[in-house]
Structure 1
Amino acid sequence: MFEQQLANASPAAPLQNVKAELSLLGDMIADNRLIDLVADRCRPVDFSVPIYAAIFARMLEQYAAGATVDAVTLAPFFAGEEDWPRAFSTLSAASLNAGTRAQTKAYFEQILMLSSRRRLVAGLQDVIASARDVTIAKEELVANADEAVAELAEQTATAQATVGAYAQIVIESFGKPIVGVRCGMIGSLDKVLGVLRPTNLVVVGGRPGMGKTSLVTSYALGASSLGHGVLIFSLEMSADELTRRMLADLCFTTHGGVPYEAIRDGTVGRTDLDAVMQAKRRLDEMPLEINETSGLTLAKFVRQARTHKRKLAARGQKLELVIVDYLQLMTPSRKGLSPYEHASEVSRGLKEFAKAENLTVMAVAQLSREVEKRPDKRPQASDLRDSGQIEQDADILLFVYREEEYLRRTEPEDQYGSKYQAWQTDMDAVRNKIEFLVPKRRSGPTGKALGWFFGGNSAVRGSTFYSELEENYP
């Protein structure tokens, strides 16, 4: 019965318009200037008739070489084709039968639409065929189905206009709110970073133990509490562990909080349970999600992030920030890539994704051990592990540094000597302090700022946390 219903659902009319395809070719011969306009969005594969696809491809080659394109110059390449005589007669009379620009546009738009539908049908048919093969994993079926449906949302238009047109857009933006992401929870960091603009790739670097994950989760909580849609790809920690950290972070205030250790181990007492439940209710209201897909390749990342963006858009929300923790843990797209090649591939891909989807990507990156060899262990751009490409692709480099972590490792064994007292004084001076270093920022000045790191609560706050003068963001 199901097979019969499926057969009956097949369309009676093919997804093609042969006359529109031939008419479009004729219009381009009648006015060769149209070839450039059409070539920006149309490809040979968009033609359903093979010879028309071949003719279009040859027209592009000739026009690019500066040659006049007409039926006569095309004839030598297709003289042996069975369908060429009919096409030749139509194209020869193109100058007499050319339509208006409005007609040409109508043909063009319909050809693109029908081509997109054909690819969608072909993709879904492949999914149906794969679904019958029980050896194919469910995850692969879902990925293939998503790719097929994503064809409808593909943006094929070229993002190009005159500088004057872009200048007009800039002028019209004057006086309007700045579009972008900010945290609000870490005021001093917001000041040194500014608003994270769409298309930006922000790389957060630091050595192990510096608080990179705590920083990006605190940033995500602050941003999403302001209404920014945030998606975190957690490659190092499980979603369970990351969520426990977020609950501890949200419970933390100037008056204390619920220790992360208690939330991690499930030993929260009755007096603290209300605070945890209140934090959970706050999370319910945030447009914040965690993706813990294993074996995450760049292609899978792009596909899943785009899927989430469409889901948010369907709910009237907007995905503005995607966080990857961390960059070097993404799975290589193919075997044999060196660490340098892999890191370069990922950083370029993340930047291209941010630009294509008009959102901000924040990627955590490990730094090399060269940091440990210097007396001053504050990170530098050259410390980015595996690839200088990361530094090149990033719009913003943000390094985190905690003197406390390095000083802790030098604790004297004799707790009653003068060295220990001096060490204790130094520890008190840097306790819970974190430095935000910004050595690269394309859209503004570089700089640095101070903040507070509370490891026991997995929380990062701005420099004015204790004075409760944190800048208020509406």
Structure 2
Amino acid sequence: MSRTQSIEAEQSILGRLLVDNAAFDRVGDLLTEADFTKPAHKLLYGTLARLINSGKGVDVVEVFEALKSRSIESEAGGLAYINELAQSAYVTGNVRRHAEIVREASILRDTLAKIEQAQEIAIGSGALAEKLDKVAALFSGMDAGNSSRKPKPMSDVMVRVIDSINEAAEGKKVGWRTGIYGIDSRLNGGLKPGKLYVLAARPAVGKTSLTIQIEKRIAQDGHPALMLSQEMEDEELGARSLSGHARVSFGNIQTGKLNDEEWTRIADGVDELAQIPFWIDDEPALSIHAINSKARYVKGLAVLAVDYIQLCEGDGDNRTQQVGSITRGLKKLAKQLGIAVIALSQLNREVDKRPGRRPQMSDLRDSGEIEQDADVIVFLWPLCDSEDEAELRHIGCEIAKNRQGKKGAMVLTLDGAKQLWAESARTIDSFGGNTKSRSSFE
């Protein structure tokens, strides 16, 4: 028997299903007709699955008539072969194990086929980065186990729920803290694994700056963080991170005009940042496959930030479908890897026409599917009540969607010179609707 096929196991499964329809409950979650090797077996399994799922009692005659109605009975081996399978069925055999053998062989065939495709890509034309992206996409999502997860009984789920409650009570499982109390409290302790967080704002409000600070804080706590910036170069992101960490003006870092004390803080900041698990990537126009590959590259990754959704390359006939494919892919990635994903998003221009410029869900640019896929949506918008706040800016921050926590708004401050965010004691209402914008610290 070849490791890439088992005709005997395929025949055993088909024969068993013909005489014991209930056996489908033990193989239906594991197999599809594509897992079978012989074309006749593919047709027979597909037909059996459809008939059994319809709730009918299925036997040799029923299957043959169903094939005959589609004029494919001869391609499935004819009545004689179907009857032979039923007559030789090993009713007391381990049909689940036979299904596992067929599934494993199918995965091996798929793997070998992908290896051949990868070789063709490797020796073909195109840039190296493009080839690596295509190869990564080939193998992304392959699973050596079952084709789908099995449903879990409530008793098993409750055990995990109690464990989670105990961990939370002991302070062992509160999420990855952002360092901003108002956000962490509404998120029940911080960012959670498997969740998609969307941070949305108009350009130049500060969403990139805030995300860098959050990821840096998480990395300082020992949890690996990755920033995928499709707009800024890695050196600029590094300089902004250093500015806040060393408490040195970003402008001074850019010009190199630093006094002795600032040079000392810069040197200390560089040493400290070099020790934390914070990764930066500045490749533009990322596909969801490339994002998957980069996320898997960072071992033990806790939090991934993608800046920003509208710069990614998605699948679909129009931009709405493309953006939807990106957010679905990011949500799937968060669940697969058990990480928190922060996806930055632009808002459309309509928000600038609204008094107060406070965002709402309809302002999310390009796709309403962003709202549907996100577990949490956070809006930022500029607040300003006097002309002397050129350096310390007040930014409105609203958690507008939160599937597992509280919603609400707060005021954050941004020290634009040092790229430092903090929570303000002021309230949104204290600004009286005056939202005149300031200079950019994106």
- TM-score class, shorter: 0.7 to 0.9
- Aligned letter for 1:278? D
Q: How far apart are 1:166 and its partner, in Å?
A: 2.1
Matches within 5 A, 1:185-334: 185-194=179-188, 195-251=190-246, 257-268=247-258, 271-305=261-295, 307-308=296-297, 312=299, 317=300, 319-334=301-316
Indicate the residue corresponding to 1:391 in structure 2.
371
**2-side partners of 1:132 and 1:366: how far apart?**
39
SS across alignment from 1:34: helix
Would the alpha carbon gap of residues 289 and 428 (structure 1) be closer, same or farther in structure 2, given more than 3 Å must change? Answer: closer
Would the alpha carbon gap of residues 303 and 58 (structure 1) be closer, same or farther in structure 2, given more than 3 Å must change? Answer: farther
Would the alpha carbon gap of residues 378 and 83 (structure 1) be closer, same or farther in structure 2, given more than 3 Å must change? Answer: closer
Say if 1:206 and 1:212, in contact at 8 Å, map to a contact too: yes
SS across alignment from 1:432: strand
Indicate the residue corresponding to 1:419 in structure 2.
none
Indicate the residue corresponding to 1:412 in structure 2.
none
Indicate the residue corresponding to 2:435 in structure 1.
none
Q: How far apart are 1:297 and its partner, in Å?
A: 2.4
Structure 2: runs of 5+ lacking an equivalent: 426-442
Q: 1:166 aligns with which of 148, 152, 157?
A: 157
For the aligned residue pairs, the C-alpha RMSD in angstroms reads 2.9
Would the alpha carbon gap of residues 90 and 442 (structure 1) be closer, same or farther in structure 2, given more than 3 Å must change? Answer: same
- Structure 2 length as normaliser, TM-score? 0.84
Would the alpha carbon gap of residues 132 and 353 (structure 1) be closer, same or farther in structure 2, given more than 3 Å must change? Answer: closer
Q: 1:57 aligns with which of 46, 59, 65?
A: 46
Q: How far apart are 1:202 and its partner, in Å?
A: 1.2
Q: Quick check: 121-130 or 137-146, which moved more?
A: 137-146
SS across alignment from 1:118: helix
Answering whether residue 362 of structure 2 is matched by residue 440 of structure 1, we say: no
Q: 1:80 aligns with which of 69, 74, 92?
A: 74
**2-side partners of 1:381 and 1:148: how far apart?**
35
Would the alpha carbon gap of residues 324 and 82 (structure 1) be closer, same or farther in structure 2, given more than 3 Å must change? Answer: closer
Say if 2:64 and 2:79, in contact at 8 Å, map to a contact too: no
Structure having the higher helix fraction is 1
Q: 1:459 aligns with which of 407, 420, 436?
A: 420
Q: How far apart are 1:169 and its partner, in Å?
A: 2.3
Q: How far apart are 1:181 and its partner, in Å?
A: 3.6
**2-side partners of 1:111 and 1:24: how far apart?**
9
SS across alignment from 1:402: strand
Identity, % of aligned positions? 26
Indicate the residue corresponding to 1:343 in structure 2.
323
Deviations 1:46-79 (A, max 9, x none): 1122211221111111112222233332234264
SS across alignment from 1:185: coil
Q: How many residues align?
A: 415
**1-side partners of 2:389 and 2:75: how far apart?**
85
**1-side partners of 2:3 and 2:143: how far apart?**
22
Structure 1: runs of 5+ lacking an equivalent: 1-11, 252-256, 408-422, 465-474
**2-side partners of 1:151 and 1:204: how far apart?**
27
Say if 1:235 and 1:293, in contact at 8 Å, map to a contact too: yes
**1-side partners of 2:360 and 2:219: how far apart?**
30
Q: How far apart are 1:14 and its partner, in Å?
A: 5.1
